Structure 1
């Protein structure tokens, strides 16, 4: 089941991997305390080159009947410098020592140069960060003011939800906001329904991933819920998110801090706020996407701008022992922005990028909503104009999130 935070400390059940939930999903420890031992984060032996980390529960258990694992042959697509399963960094990139990240790639969005990486070709589960493929397809194909039907089945999906109702009135734009800001699995199903159904949308997400240079990614759901066959790599996701962050419409959506979401039936409209904490405290943040399942653990993708440069980072199979993933991402991005040389350890090869990504590229690019066509009520500039009320709402949300 897709969740949005680590399990309660009281839960002590043991998963399929033999670890208790507290061992598998350690919570944040004090900054002056040592990080808990976590063999799953030790990747120097290339243990995830041919298989994913052990599943915690049966939702992601592979059997002989499931599809074959797709592996990345060496030399890998990113260049010789990335043919490693441990941590590698370009000259002058001083990475923080206190991290609890299983795999990541730090890259330049414009040039595609990779500044640092850990186990870039290791196989992992993406959780909700895979929803970015759905975002790009929906932006290309749907009229953002179109009303999208919602069924009771969509509203009752497992995991994180934004809170749609079967008799509610939702535009494609509002569902996209709920998808990226609250990781709404209900919104994902509604959007997929408008795109021709979940099976058709999964196929299109796979096609888009392939076109963007992903070589070991298998898309199985529109929302990132665990299945036995789902897999990706940090390198693949860096390819995908690089293309996403080159699009103005995607950046506008991912950078939205708060928005008003429609109610349904007797329930009134309500405020939603992005679950990406980086938006609230990191100068130059362009937004990103959080993810979490019991089996994927914490995942994250984000980008930021500083001094005319745009850097992105993707993180997989990680824990919050060293801090929430957006906080760890900030320290990794700082290392990239503070680099003392222009060297790199590899490159993102990419496929199509930016506005010409995805099926029917030529027509989709011209029809895709731009920053100006997205509702001005949802852009950060106008949201800032909501004044003190918005600030208080966001502040209260942040406090409640951290306490939870």
Structure 2
């Protein structure tokens, strides 16, 4: 019998060792690297950074600058206004939509030419329309990005991204700028436009989106993108995609070859979609602090966690809700509103108690399932070993 018990012990230890619930994939550190000098992937609903590489390094962005110019023009301007093109806009270097001097073009059309065909002349025309000059527009754009978008490591000197040593941003800032822009339905439409008929005085053609993944829609869930290149910046890329509840933006800066920039973008998006999931705490959800103060959420709160990860929620006595992951990563932090009327507080406390009772009822069944599984495993092991002994 001692031999049987010894074999049984080894058998049960083996089961425990190889049991999949003991393997916490959420604790595994992702070590995949991207080619780009700087990169980031962000979940746009929650604003959480899922992966980063040198994401706060200030680098020249090239034409992804136009994302900022476009959302500024959409929010601050009237899309039906006509813009008169100057000689300065007509003669700008780089990619153009071939505007003519004194050509009158609707602002909406200029923004489309800016994003879809990366028209530098459209960018200068927009800047002069709003501010009178490229320099004045850059100052106003920087103020907008700081005060309304909330980025602090970006300084633009022009609306298009042609190289200037002082024209810099970071991968993280570009993710935040894109996250902000994608809340605007007009921007979202322009950002994901594959082609557009262009009937201009100097150019009659069909504009084709320069971002390959947008152009061929080869990546599942693609929702937009902008590419850039100047010699000093290397290839830069911003790509957005949505699957289910996840909406991601991937940014890469200073990649040596265009194909590597796209491969990095796909790697970042694949990583986000396969490794993470979103959870939502809805508005008016009640929470209690340790001293039984009652607080509620005033809006829906999204947070992103690793697939299958257990999170911990805690409310401080001043109503700050923090959500942390298994490795103590801060997933979300938000201020809740205190409930002060006794009637409202009683109703909410009843909801909390009811929810806890439901959780306890569900949780109390778990030990019985586990105990049953263990007993069944032991019995099967004993029968197996007794059969072996008889033979």
Q: Which TM bucket (shorter chain)?
A: 0.5 to 0.7
In structure 1, the partner of 2:143 is 207
Of 325, 345, 350 in structure 1, the residue corresponding to residue 261 of structure 2 is: 325
Q: Does 1:230 align with 2:167?
A: yes
In structure 1, the partner of 2:275 is 339
Q: Structure 1 residues 340, 168: CA separation in 2 closer, same or farther (over 3 Å shift)?
A: closer
Q: Does 1:117 align with 2:52?
A: yes
In structure 2, the partner of 1:154 is 89
Question: 1 or 2, which has the higher helix percentage?
Answer: 2
Per-residue deviation, 1:179:
0.4
In structure 1, the partner of 2:285 is none
Alignment of 1:4-403 (within 5 A): 99-197=34-132, 198-211=134-147, 212-264=149-201, 267=202, 269-279=204-214, 280=216, 281-320=218-257, 323-339=259-275, 342-343=305-306
Residue 195 of structure 1 aligns to a residue whose secondary structure is helix
Q: CA RMSD in A?
A: 2.6
- State TM-score, norm by structure 2: 0.61
Q: Contact 2:234 / 2:257 at 8 angstroms: preserved in 1?
A: no
Per-residue deviation, 1:308:
2.3
Q: Contact 2:35 / 2:260 at 8 angstroms: preserved in 1?
A: no
Specify every segment of 5 or more residues in structure 2 that has no aligned partner in the other structure, as ranges.
1-25, 278-304, 307-324, 334-391
Per-residue deviation, 1:145:
2.2
Q: Equivalents in 1 of 2:268, 2:51: separation in Å?
A: 9
Per-residue deviation, 1:213:
2.3
Q: Structure 1 residues 347, 287: CA separation in 2 closer, same or farther (over 3 Å shift)?
A: farther
Q: Equivalents in 2 of 1:191, 1:91: separation in Å?
A: 48
Q: Equivalents in 1 of 2:69, 2:82: separation in Å?
A: 17
Per-residue deviation, 1:149:
0.3
- State TM-score, norm by structure 1: 0.59
Question: 1 or 2, which has the higher strand percentage?
Answer: 2
Q: Equivalents in 2 of 1:274, 1:93: separation in Å?
A: 36
**Higher Rg:** 2
Per-residue deviation, 1:328:
2.6
Q: Structure 1 residues 160, 191: CA separation in 2 closer, same or farther (over 3 Å shift)?
A: same
